Structure 1
């Protein structure tokens, strides 16, 4: 009898969703990096962030999505976790492209990437609706430590974003970070306050209580944290080049944070069950 380690049911549809997404991301990111007139109406701060995000998309997100979708389509559990975590991060990025970047000739491509990414995640959720994700892992997963870690991340970012947005809201003034970027509101605050940070809180509670959904959400949101940190490192580096600002402390800080996130992801993935669910 053949033992298929780390496998669950194969699903080629994940690959069919991902290939057009990565092709379109590669095109958009390449244009953004090498034809910077695309962002000619952005402020210098927002321009550097757009270019940094393009660099992250092209050199990190595209390869991760492509490789993870290939193995996920064959039923690999680890690849499925990395794929879904990266895809929800991609949704985050392209909501910003669609709503916070001035209209340009790639607008409809941004919308197409966002739509395909959303529907691929919906498809994954529907297709795995009855899956008992606890069976993907052994009982050695340190659920309490992982839950506390995720809860701490959420609290830190809630306090950080509130320190930027709440004073302006209380005094009816526009925060400096928003005015410097030439935006109406901060799209990162919108996404984090309304969806991503609450989801991290929910995930922390569910994994601590060992709920089945917590076992997919916890590594998924940790992957989200890792990819988001890489995005921040790339755009902070681009801003340092464009504006001659000293962003090295931020880069070092987020690099350390990325390593910590990788450590917690490893704690989960090393306890993936070797038993096939097929």
Structure 2
């Protein structure tokens, strides 16, 4: 019986002492959040006018694209990765932190930008469960051991990808916000959403982009914490590109004028991110690994 309670060796190896059971608790709460998110996104797609009817056309297109990504990718990935991590997959656990980072980001936007409606409390539940699952899951991991497990990662490629992409988006958002601030008008990114400010600008400039750049810097400096957080940062950037790529198709289907021009640059950044993620998580050729 004692052997059955022993955690899988890879999992026990990368978690801090005594934290394996707590990590499993966070996988369960994250799975619950994914189930709620999946159901809520399905309802959002089935009743667009009922859920998003008070938003602008551009906002509705983005919300529908986000629901589609939540339902088909984010929620299933959270459930699958939580199960694989439960079974002892270190890399699944690291990918899981990235999907949760993406989910926290998007449900912060849902809860604070969309009019309160039938799914509001479900969105709040997803945000809360996912945020605390992410915090608890990251605290359970041992940075030095995870860094050793990812020793084959091309640190320069990973680090510079995070620094460059984070910096590019920072400059892009500032190019909208700064002129609007000087001229005393609403930024274009907020105006098309019918909001006083764009929540993407707020979250990115205040929290997410500085975090991405900081993680990239830590990777370049060969800090263990950098490699611990790098998978989450790369997954976040990759998944953030998915709704952007889906939105023009939603706009076209709804009879609007799609912004096809974003497909090229966002597609390149997303594709490069996938390649960086594969390189980051590749296993060492050392037979003892």
TM-score, normalization by structure 1 = 0.91
Q: Which residue of 1 aligns with 2:53?
A: 40
Pairs within 5 Å for 1:1-278: 7-9=10-12, 11-36=23-48, 37-128=50-141, 132-138=145-151, 140-271=152-283
RMSD over aligned Cα atoms: 2.1
CA distance in 2, matches of 1:137, 1:19: 26
After superposition, the C-alpha distances for 1:31-55 in whole angstroms (9 at most, x for unaligned) are 1101012111011111111111100
TM-score, normalization by structure 2 = 0.88
Instruction: Name structure 2 gaps, 5 residues minimum.
Output: 1-7, 13-19
CA distance in 1, matches of 2:143, 2:269: 34
CA distance in 1, matches of 2:109, 2:171: 22
Deviation at 1:125, TM superposition (A): 2.5
Instruction: Name structure 1 gaps, 5 residues minimum.
Output: none
CA distance in 2, matches of 1:25, 1:119: 15
CA distance in 1, matches of 2:164, 2:269: 12
Contact 1:85 1:221 in 2 (8 A): yes
CA distance in 1, matches of 2:39, 2:121: 13
Alpha-carbon spacing, 1:32–1:69, altered in 2? closer, same or farther (3 Å) = same
Higher relative contact order (CA 8 A, sep 6+): 1
Please state whether the residue corresponding to 1:144 is helix, strand or coil.
helix
- Count, aligned residues: 272
Deviation at 1:275, TM superposition (A): 5.6
Contact 2:107 2:127 in 1 (8 A): yes
Deviation at 1:135, TM superposition (A): 1.7
